[in-house]
């Protein structure tokens, strides 16, 4: 069953989302372009589903990555729920 007439599209199911995108595009590509623009003092990426894994992989060693929820991930760290990201950011500001 073909969902589109364009074979260069990919359908990905995420957490409460269905993403239809060009096959050659993922969340890691814009991250790589953004990193190439200048030197950043600190980069943090957080995400809660498998579509964010491309972003985590792109940042490999060049940023801090956080997976929200359970499951295998390329992220450096895990938090239990989305609300925990706010606590993480507040803790980071307090250390600053």
pLDDT in tens, 37-94: 999 999 999 999 888 999 999 999 999 999 999 889 999 999 999 999 999 999 988 9
* 77-79: strand order across its sheet: 44-47, 64-68, 77-79
Supply the pTM of this predicted model: 0.78
d(CA 80, CA 25): 28
DSSP state of 64: E
d(CA 79, CA 65): 11
Integer-rounded Cα radius of gyration of the chain: 15
């Amino acid at each position: 069953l073909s969902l589109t007439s364009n074979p260069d599209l990919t359908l990905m199911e995420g957490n409460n989302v269905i993403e239809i995108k060009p096959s050659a595009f993922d969340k890691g590509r814009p991250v790589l372009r953004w990193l190439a623009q200048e030197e950043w003092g600190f980069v943090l990426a957080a995400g809660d589903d498998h579509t964010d894994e491309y972003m985590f992989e792109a940042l490999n060693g060049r940023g801090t990555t956080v997976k929200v929820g359970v499951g295998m991930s390329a992220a450096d760290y895990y938090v239990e729920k989305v609300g925990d990201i706010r606590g993480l950011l507040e803790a980071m500001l307090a250390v600053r």
